[in-house]
Amino acid sequence: MRLRPANRAAFARARFVAGFLALPLLLYVVYVISPYVQAFSIALTDWRGVSANPRFVGLDNFRRLLGDGVFWTAVGHNGLLLVLLPVLTIVIALFFAFLLNAGGAKASGVPGSRFYRVVFFFPQVLAVAIVAVLFQQVFRPDAAGMLNAPLLALGLEPVGFLSDPGVAFWSILGVLVWQAVGFYTVLFSAGMASVPRELYEAARIDGAGPAPLFFRVTLPLLWDTVQVGWVYLGIAALDVFAVVWVMTAEHGGPDHSTTVMAAEIYRNAFQYFKFGYASAMGVVLFFFTVGFAALALRLSRRERVEF
């Protein structure tokens, strides 16, 4: 049976696309899907990382999680980051991006906006571990600390940014927001730059001030980009590890005041050698992440604005 010319062309295109996708899909299955499947299976055992035949324990690891106070403290910290990190980052980034793109008298942004974009983006150039080490020095409780030095010079008591259980978590949150704001400022700036200047000019002629200009023109046209940023920041809030592990005492201290799920997974796997138990935590984190992404996309869905 011979194919018609149109069918032959469609078959050739499909074969061409399949040939390009085969290798990336294979790598994705091997390095992404396969570890997830292995984690699900290991979570049902008491494997300690050395035995060839770990004992099957069923759902015992998950039952232990229900009574693990430290793990639920970590879940609470991730939940708080899940709310605060996207909100603070997006609000600040939108404010800066609006100033850079539409904040000028002629809707052309503030003077030097290109330079400011580079400055805002600079934290993204630094590795996360470098950012953590940098802020360890900023938060030092002695005269060498950037924030405590002025307090000591005034004769005031230094603030234990990383040693006070009531302050340490908020210090970590501040670092995470500082690191993320620059990237999303540039991302939102790119979205705002694609908005026709005529829309801003027309709104200004109609008497719109900065607030109506932002909420009635900029934000509706930028909503898809904000939605994507919200999902990425939420996933980042669930996967905080390097900053907590490098910056804090006891890798999540003091007194578990900054610990997160990823830190507890690492601790149980590579310090206590409870790979089965750590995998159960990883499964919980997996469902939290997928559930958040699905919920965020569902709740933020709205009619798309074309321009």
Q: What's the token pair of residue 42?
A: 């290991």
Name the CA dihedral angle for 145, 156, 250, 63, rounded to a multiple of 10 degrees: -130
What sections of 103-127 are H helices per DSSP?
113-125
Query: Is CATH 1.10.3720.10 correct for 62-299?
Result: yes
Q: In this predicted structure, what is the pLDDT of residue 7?
A: 64
Q: What's the token pair of residue 74?
A: 């970590």
Residue 25: count other Cβ atoms within 10 Å of its Cβ: 12
Residue entry with tokens 């390095």: 31
Whole-model pTM?
0.83
Q: Where are the domains of the chain?
A: 62-299
220, 152 in Cβ contact below 8 A?
no
Q: In this predicted structure, what is the pLDDT of residue 205?
A: 76
DSSP code per residue over 166-213: HHHHHHHHHHHHHHHHHHHHHHHHHHHHTS-HHHHHHHHHTT--HHHH
Q: In this predicted structure, what is the pLDDT of residue 105?
A: 43
**45 beta partners:** 56
**56 beta partners:** 45
Q: In this predicted structure, what is the pLDDT of residue 8?
A: 66
DSSP code per residue over 49-84: SS-SSPPB-TTHHHHHHHT-HHHHHHHHHHHHHHHH
Low-confidence ranges of the chain (pLDDT < 70): 1-9, 11, 102-110, 112, 300-307
CA separation, residue 176 to residues 36, 97, 169, 227 (Å): 27, 19, 11, 19
3-state secondary structure of 144: coil
Closest among 176, 167, 162, 164 to 247, alpha carbons compared? 162
Residues 6+ apart with CB under 8 A from 170: none
Which string of b and e fits 232-252 if b means at least 16 CB within 10 Å? Answer: bbbbbbbebbbbbbbbbeebb
Q: In this predicted structure, what is the pLDDT of residue 108?
A: 54
Q: In this predicted structure, what is the pLDDT of residue 155?
A: 85
Residue type, 106: K
